[in-house]
Every structure is written in C-alpha cells, then in structure tokens.
C-alpha cells in the first residue's frame, strides 16, 4: 500500500497543477512543494514522534530505525520527484476551459435551506460514503487490531468502486441542490460533503475500541487513536477529492449544455 501511494505522486502533482493553473495562480513552485510534503510530511512527523515515545518506553510495537529510514527515502527519493514530474506535465497542459463566461463581481447568495448550509451539508453528505464501506471496514479493523486474517481482496475492490461511485453521486446531488438555490460557492462544500466520511470513520473507531478491543494502559490507547486519526484523515481526503473533482466535472457539463439565445 505504501509503495502504491508513493507511485501515485505523479497523479497528485498533475491534478494539483491542472487545478492550480485553472485558478490563474502563479506560485506554481509553492503549489508543487505543498503537494509533495503537506500530507506525507504531516503523517511522517506524527509517526516519527509516536515511534520515539514507543522506543523510549521500550514498547515492542516500536518500528526499527531502518524501517523509518526506508519510508523516508521512499518519500524523498521517489514520491517527491514523481510529484514534480506530474506537476511539470500538468502545467504544460492546456488550461481547463469553462463553457460560460464568469462574472468578476460575485453574485449575492440568497438564504439557503438548512440542509444546504455548512456544516449540515457535510454532516448529511458523509453518511452514505461511510455506510457503503461499513461492513468491509469491520473486517479490515479486525485484521489490523485483532490479528485476524484478511483474504477478501476481490470484495475489497468492489467496495472501493462502490465508495467512489457513492462519493460522486453524493457530491453531484449536493452541488445540484446548491446551484438550484443560486449558491455559486460550491467548491469547499463539495469537498466536505464527502470528506466528512473520515469523521464518521473516527467515530466508528471509538465504537470499535469500546466494544471489540481490550487495550490495557494509556500508551496502547494513544497508539490506537494516533493511527486511526491518520487513517481517518487520509480516508476523508480521498473521499473529499473525489467529491470535488466530480462536482467540478458536473458543473462544466451542465453549464456546457446551457444554450444562450
């Protein structure tokens, strides 16, 4: 999984560069560096600090220094250069065009229904993406924390596809509701309407700890919450990215179909 994430750096660099260029931003170096180090750097820092505490108390779950160095080298020597490569091709590509003219003066947004306001739209939107993986999530959590075998890889691929399709549908529906309410500020709402599934995943980890695990001591609980927090953040970013990109595609399609006489 780590190796696949490292290889996806080129995809991250390309998509971030295309969106950054679409917004007419100029600091492309800052965008590329942020793409390369923001999430991996935060996860690596949390993992390193946690491992230092585990090593100081002599815990058996501490990771060896060679593993940490290997992960660090994968990040700096493979993932980061791939981000720059993807960003190079992204900025070299043509700017994404919109089918209609955009007014430079922001339009007044009328009073919205309660389900279209933040944070309620995020609270509602994240339920279905999380619900689509709940059953499979139980088996994954059992394999991670209860030392059980996980062998349903084919079913996991199906659930992964269902999760992606669910995020697309939820984001498109929520964006359409906002556009019907004459609300043009759909960007962040389309992201958080699916990214909130990561919050539900963290709540699920609390339930799993209270009902399925028997952790003794303060340190094992800290380790559990730290890893589940990182997993929840990564899961939320994945779902939110799908929601944002699908809403962006949806708005281009529907406004491209509008015929102005």
* Secondary structure (3-state) at 10: helix
Average pLDDT over residues 173-186: 85
Where do runs of H (alpha helix) occur along the chain?
2-7, 9-22, 28-56, 65-74, 80-92, 120-125, 127-131, 134-145, 153-180, 187-195, 197-211, 218-256
pLDDT (0 to 100) of residue 107: 75
Residue 106 CA to residue 74 CA, distance in Å, equals 44
Residue 107 CA to residue 257 CA, distance in Å, equals 21
| Per-residue pLDDT band at 260 (split at 50, 70, 90) | low
Q: Is 8 exposed, middle or buried (0-12, 13-18, 19+ CB in 10 A)?
A: middle
Instruction: Give me the residue label for tokens 């993807």.
Output: 86
Angle (CA) 13 16 21, round 5°: 120
| Per-residue pLDDT band at 259 (split at 50, 70, 90) | low
- pTM equals 0.88
What are phi and psi for residue 88, nearest 5 degrees? -60, -50
Write out pLDDT tens, residues 229-258. 999 999 999 999 999 999 999 998 888 877
pLDDT (0 to 100) of residue 233: 94
Write out pLDDT tens, residues 119-158. 888 888 889 999 999 988 988 898 888 877 777 778 888 9
Write out pLDDT tens, residues 73-101. 988 888 899 999 999 999 888 888 887 77
| Per-residue pLDDT band at 168 (split at 50, 70, 90) | very high
Q: Do 85 and 10 form a contact (C-beta atoms < 8 A)?
A: yes
CA-based nearest residue to 169, from 134, 129, 123, 114: 129
């Amino acid at each position: 999984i780590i190796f696949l994430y490292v290889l996806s750096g080129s995809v991250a660099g390309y998509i971030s560069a295309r969106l950054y260029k679409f917004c007419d931003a100029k600091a492309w170096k800052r965008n590329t560096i942020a793409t390369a180090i923001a999430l991996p750097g935060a996860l690596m820092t949390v993992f390193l600090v946690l491992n230092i505490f585990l090593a100081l108390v002599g815990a058996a779950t501490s990771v060896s220094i060679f593993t940490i160095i290997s992960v660090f080298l994968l990040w700096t020597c493979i993932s980061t250069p791939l981000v720059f490569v993807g960003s190079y091709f992204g900025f070299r590509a043509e700017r994404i065009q919109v089918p209609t003219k955009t007014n430079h003066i922001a339009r007044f947004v009328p009073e919205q229904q309660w389900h279209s306001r933040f944070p309620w739209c995020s609270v509602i939107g994240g339920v279905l993406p999380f619900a689509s993986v709940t059953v499979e999530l139980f088996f994954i959590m059992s394999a991670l924390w209860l030392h059980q075998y996980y062998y349903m890889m084919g079913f996991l691929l199906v659930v992964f596809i269902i999760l992606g399709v669910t995020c697309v549908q939820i984001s498109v529906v929520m964006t359409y509701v906002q556009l019907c309410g004459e609300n043009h500020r759909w960007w962040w709402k389309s992201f958080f309407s699916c990214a909130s599934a990561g919050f539900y995943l963290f709540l699920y980890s609390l339930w799993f700890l209270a009902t399925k695990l028997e952790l003794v001591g303060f340190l094992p609980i800290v380790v559990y919450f730290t890893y589940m927090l990182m997993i929840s953040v990564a899961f939320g970013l994945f779902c939110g990215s799908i929601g944002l990109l699908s809403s962006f595609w949806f708005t281009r399609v529907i406004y491209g179909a509008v015929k102005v006489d």
